[in-house]
Chains A and B, each alone.
Chain A
Amino acid sequence: MDYLTLMIIFGLAVLWELATINKNVKKMNKQNAELINLYNDRSKRNQ
């Protein structure tokens, strides 16, 4: 296997992994937004 084929396989594997992280980050941002909303609601109620 030449180095170019290796580069293609490695590159595509990294891209696949990045697309998975992308999904997790999207989920994390959604959760963070929900937490901030909860915090804001609680602060309002305490006031």
Chain B
Amino acid sequence: MKKNQVLIGALLCLTASISWGAMFPVAERALRYIDPIYFSFLRYLAVSIILGILLLIKEGKKSFCLEGKGKNLLFFGTMAFTVYNFLIFSGQDLLGHNGVIVASIMESLMPMISIMIMWVFKNARPMKYTIASMLLALIGAILVITNGNLSFLFLLKDSIIPILFILIGVIGWVIYTMGGNQFSGWSTLRYSTLTCILGTSVSGIITFFATVLGLSVPTAEVIQSIYGEMIFMIIFPGAIALLSWNLGIKLLTPINGILFINVVPITTLVIVFIQGGSLSSFELLGTFLVIYALIQNNYYQRKNLPSQVEELNPRKVKRIA
């Protein structure tokens, strides 16, 4: 890997993680004025337009051709831009101030959730060290969610719905990320733009029906009051983070790039602290446990990598033959 490639890849992953970490505290203020459904739909409507123009300029009209993959693109786009966005912000909104850190910590659990999905649906049993890391990360997440008060678990009936919303939303994003492998011949910009446009169309249909059923349309005054937050959410966690993360992972490879997801809860905690919010020792300890579990899992993965590479080494195969 070239030095330049590592530096650019690291910068891209860092930009994406910091943007995502800042997303939840910024969204918290916006959600005081606007419904999560309209908030997500309007945000990605703008992102779709920006990415669409960029794709048209950089790759031309033919890059909008779906090449018979429309169904898959629609599915993955819905997972990311409808399921993830509607549910994570609805969950955060329902949980109130605690929702900021809970949503952020769930986001950092993505690598662990993808391992679980592979285990359940593809029967790819993880190594023992990965299971241990997953349990450690789960303990960390429970500490953050319950704020150290385990009796909270028995009172979960009040919070179970928002937590489930956030969890399902994160699973949606994990499925979207995994779906990217099916489009390896496509550029990151093309996959991101087409899924974004299709996913946002689904969000538009849902928003329309929700409005017909009684959801209030945000007024110009409401939009005016959250203008700054909306601009930030559209440009940074919306468009820039989406492209930077996918490009950074391509440059650094997933095993290196995934480590940067740790920056998400760290950024959230720093912003909550700067905003004057209180951070309990349980929230700090829980976040530390999740980060430690991710690094530990990554360390063991690297340790096991040489033997796997050796098994795939054509020279070795030749020697055996």
Contact surface of A with B, Cβ cutoff 8 Å: 4, 7-8, 11-12, 14-16, 18-23, 25-26, 29, 43, 47
Given the contacts A11-B235, A25-B250, A43-B314, A19 and B189 also touching, CB distance less than 8 Å? yes
Chain B residues numbered 166-190 whose CB sits less than 8 Å from any CB in chain A: 187-189
Alpha-carbon separation in the docked complex, A26 to B250 (Å):
10
Contact surface of B with A, Cβ cutoff 8 Å: 8, 12, 15, 50, 54-55, 57-59, 187-189, 227-228, 231-232, 235-236, 239-240, 243-244, 247, 250-251, 314, 318
Check A15–B187 contact: CB distance below 8 A: no
What's the nearest-Cβ distance from chain A to residue B240, in Å?
6
Given the contacts A7-B232, A7-B235, A23-B58, A18 and B318 also touching, CB distance less than 8 Å? no
Decide if the interface of chain A is mainly helix, strand, loop or mixed. helix
Check B240–A22 contact: CB distance below 8 A: no
Query: CB within 8 A of B243: which of A12, A15, A29, A43?
Result: A15
Alpha-carbon separation in the docked complex, A20 to B12 (Å):
13
Please give me the 8 A-B residue pairs with the lowest Cβ-Cβ distance, nearest first: A11-B235, A26-B187, A22-B189, A18-B243, A19-B58, A19-B54, A22-B188, A22-B187
Chain A residues whose C-beta falls within 8 Å of the C-beta of B12 in the assembled complex: 18, 21
Given the contacts A8-B231, A21-B8, A14 and B251 also touching, CB distance less than 8 Å? no
Alpha-carbon separation in the docked complex, A4 to B232 (Å):
9
Check B231–A7 contact: CB distance below 8 A: yes
Decide if the interface of chain B is mainly helix, strand, loop or mixed. helix
Alpha-carbon separation in the docked complex, A33 to B178 (Å):
21
Alpha-carbon separation in the docked complex, A25 to B189 (Å):
11
Chain B residues whose C-beta falls within 8 Å of the C-beta of A8 in the assembled complex: 231, 235
Check B54–A16 contact: CB distance below 8 A: yes
Query: CB within 8 A of B247: which of A4, A12, A21?
Result: A21
Pick 28 A–B contacts, CB within 8 A, sort by A: A4-B228, A7-B232, A8-B231, A11-B231, A11-B236, A11-B239, A11-B240, A14-B15, A15-B50, A15-B235, A15-B239, A15-B240, A16-B54, A18-B240, A18-B247, A19-B54, A19-B189, A20-B58, A21-B8, A22-B58, A22-B187, A23-B187, A25-B188, A25-B250, A26-B187, A26-B188, A29-B250, A47-B318
Alpha-carbon separation in the docked complex, A21 to B12 (Å):
10
Chain A, Cβ-Cβ closest to B235: A11
What's the nearest-Cβ distance from chain A to residue B164, in Å?
33
Check B235–A25 contact: CB distance below 8 A: no
Alpha-carbon separation in the docked complex, A7 to B236 (Å):
9
